[in-house]
């Protein structure tokens, strides 16, 4: 890697077979005023008139933008893919963001405002939305509030019940430490107090690291470090952006975690008024499979499907990126979804 590349950020043009920028394509990093603050979106597509697909990253505060090329290069051939650094995340982090504005309600408003903008910008009545992890909480709430803005909802690692999920995740980590005879981690894990961890985000992060260590985040735990290196290779992120990403992740988790402890979509979102697709890793112990199965079985929607990723944990988009893209293209563009003119 050339270190000078980290001095600035850009997104490369989409090129045709001759290597020239492809006519009618779009490749842009843009700053938008959303919810009263500047936020950044990455827009990429071979055809700027194609359907828009908005991706909602996990976290909170965990941008997927630097890794977009790993899971969206094929999607860009069929959609205008929009990666959005949410309020307080990555390129959209600023120390000037009022902590009081970091509420779930504000994020839903931001998502709706951005979706309205994308409909106007690309002259489309509705767009597709894909959420990952925390992005599925946001996605469900936005779709529930304004279903007329969206053509379909794709959930990757759907959050269901935060309190139950945290207890299941912690138990998985404890069992992993016990199997590994990792007595120091085991002792610390057994002292944790989910789901709130008594307000100590560092305890939550320790639990997450242990879940990852024992294969509950990525089926192959080595992928964690491999992805970390990819952040430094992304043309969309400079060194300054990487620093923002780290600061924004800490800021966002600290501001939002306690607000999310009572999330129970079985009660608050028992139905959605549009087609729904759940993409779920068989080995996921962050958003546990048993909770997702229960929610999927009880969810009412005009059309719903649960698609398993047998070789994935919490992140099928990174663990099985080719199949992830193939499934989205197949489900959203082959007739299951009614066309919008």
For 92-132, write each residue's pLDDT tens digit: 999 999 999 999 999 999 999 999 999 999 999 999 999 99
Q: Say which residue the tokens 């229960």 belong to.
A: 294
The span from the CA of 108 to the CA of 241, in Å, is: 24
Coil, strand or helix at 153: strand
* pLDDT at residue 337, as a whole number: 61
Structure tokens at 95: 């120390």
Q: Is the pLDDT of residue 184 over 90?
A: yes
Q: Is the pLDDT of residue 336 over 90?
A: no
Structure tokens at 307: 């698609």
Contact call for residues 248 and 276 (beta carbons, < 8 A):
no
* pLDDT at residue 339, as a whole number: 47
pLDDT, one tens digit per residue, over 31-73 is 999 999 999 999 999 999 999 999 999 999 999 999 999 999 9
Contact call for residues 91 and 63 (beta carbons, < 8 A):
yes
Helices then strands, counting H and E runs in the chain, come out as 12, 8
Residue 338: pLDDT band with limits 50, 70, 90: low
Task: Check the CA dihedral 77-333-315-56 and report its sign.
Answer: positive
Residue 270: pLDDT band with limits 50, 70, 90: very high
What percent of the chain lies above the pLDDT cut of 70? 96
* pLDDT at residue 4, as a whole number: 60
Complete domains list, the chain, with CATH: 25-161+217-333 (3.40.50.1820)
| Angstrom distances, CA of residue 41 to CA of 11, 90, 91, 271 | 11, 11, 9, 29
Closest CA to 59 of 84, 80, 42: 84
Residue of higher predicted confidence among 276 and 262? 276
Residues making up the chain, counted from first to last:
341
Phi and psi at residue 30, to the nearest 5°: -130, 145
Closest CA to 162 of 202, 110, 204, 221: 204
Residue 152: pLDDT band with limits 50, 70, 90: very high
């Amino acid at each position: 890697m050339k270190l000078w590349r980290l001095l600035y950020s850009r997104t490369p043009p989409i090129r045709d077979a001759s290597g020239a920028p492809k006519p009618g394509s779009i490749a842009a990093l843009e700053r938008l005023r959303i919810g009263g603050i500047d936020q950044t979106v990455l827009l990429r597509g071979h055809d700027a008139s194609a359907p828009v697909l908005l991706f909602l990253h996990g976290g909170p505060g965990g941008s997927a933008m630097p890794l977009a090329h790993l899971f969206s290069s094929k999607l860009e051939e069929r959609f205008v893919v929009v990666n959005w650094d949410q309020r307080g995340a990555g390129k959209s982090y600023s120390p000037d963001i009022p902590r009081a504005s970091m509420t779930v309600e504000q994020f839903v408003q931001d998502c709706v405002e951005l979706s309205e903008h994308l409909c106007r910008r690309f002259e489309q009545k509705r767009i597709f939305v894909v959420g990952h992890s925390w992005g599925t909480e946001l996605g469900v709430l936005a779709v529930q509030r304004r279903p007329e803005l969206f053509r379909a909802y794709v959930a990757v690692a759907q959050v269901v019940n935060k309190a139950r999920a945290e207890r299941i995740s912690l138990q998985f980590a404890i069992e992993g430490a016990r199997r590994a005879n990792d007595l120091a981690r085991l002792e610390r894990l057994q002292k944790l107090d989910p789901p709130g961890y008594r307000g100590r985000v560092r305890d939550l992060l320790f639990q997450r690291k242990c879940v990852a260590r024992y294969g509950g985040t990525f089926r192959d735990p080595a992928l964690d470090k491999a992805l970390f290196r990819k952040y430094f290779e992304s043309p969309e992120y400079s060194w300054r952006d990487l620093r923002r990403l780290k600061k924004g992740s800490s800021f966002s988790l600290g501001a939002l975690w306690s607000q999310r402890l009572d999330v129970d979509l079985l009660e608050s979102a028992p139905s959605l008024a549009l087609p729904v697709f759940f993409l779920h890793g068989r080995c996921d112990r962050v958003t546990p499979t048993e909770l997702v199965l229960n929610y999927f079985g009880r969810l009412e929607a005009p059309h719903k499907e649960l698609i398993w990723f047998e070789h994935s944990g919490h992140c099928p988009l990174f663990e099985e990126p080719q199949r992830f893209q193939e499934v989205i293209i197949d489900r959203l563009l082959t007739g299951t979804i009614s066309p919008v003119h």
